[in-house]
């Protein structure tokens, strides 16, 4: 069993990085690997529980909620959230953990593979 870490810096609707990250994570979880996300910079917007975009069939939060249900761990950078006016419980769906930057160092040290997107 491998341990994958994914640092996602891009927000939703800017690029397809979030979709790529979710597909990689989903494939890893299907293989019974461990997956941890660290949402950094605009990447914290991927964890918003208030997303509404009627033109999209599947929103980023739908994909991330599915990954959480399959056992992925999702961290969001505390400083990035604070500087964007976002708070745990009010803006993010259940399961997203707001943490300090040192958590990414701990996460990276435990990963067999670390991806940045």
Give the 3-state secondary structure of 78-90: HHHHHHCCCCCCC
**Mean pLDDT estimate for the chain:** 92
| Cα angle for residues 98, 49, 37 (degrees, 5° grid) | 45
Per-residue DSSP letters for 44-77?
A: GGGGBTT---TT-SS-HHHHHHHHHHTT-EEEEE
As given in the structure block, the two tokens for residue 40 are 């950094």
> Which domains occur in the chain, in start order?
3-116 (3.40.1260.10)
Q: Tell me, what's the pLDDT at 58? A: 81
Q: Residue 33's pLDDT is what?
A: 93
Give the range among 21-30, 46-55, 68-77 with minimum mean pLDDT: 46-55
Query: What percentage of the chain has pLDDT greater than the value 90?
Result: 71
Quick one: CA dihedral 84, 87, 90, 92, positive or negative? positive
51 vs 79, higher pLDDT: 79
pLDDT tens-place string over residues 3-45: 999 999 998 888 889 999 999 999 999 999 999 999 999 999 9
What DSSP state is assigned to residue 33?
-
Q: Is the pLDDT of residue 88 over 80?
A: no
Confidence at residue 90, expressed as pLDDT on a 0 to 100 scale: 80
pLDDT at 109 over 80: yes
């Amino acid at each position: 069993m491998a341990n994958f870490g994914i640092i996602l810096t891009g927000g939703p609707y800017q690029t397809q990085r979030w979709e790529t990250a979710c597909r990689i994570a989903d494939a890893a979880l299907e293989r019974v690997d461990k997956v941890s996300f660290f949402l950094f910079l605009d990447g914290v917007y991927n964890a918003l529980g208030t997303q509404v975009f009627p033109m999209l069939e599947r929103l980023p939060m739908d994909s991330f909620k599915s990954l959480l249900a399959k056992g992925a761990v999702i961290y969001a950078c505390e400083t990035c959230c604070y500087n964007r006016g976002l708070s745990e419980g009010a803006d993010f769906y259940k399961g997203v953990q707001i943490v300090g930057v040192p958590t990414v160092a701990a996460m990276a040290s435990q990963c067999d593979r670390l991806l940045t997107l």
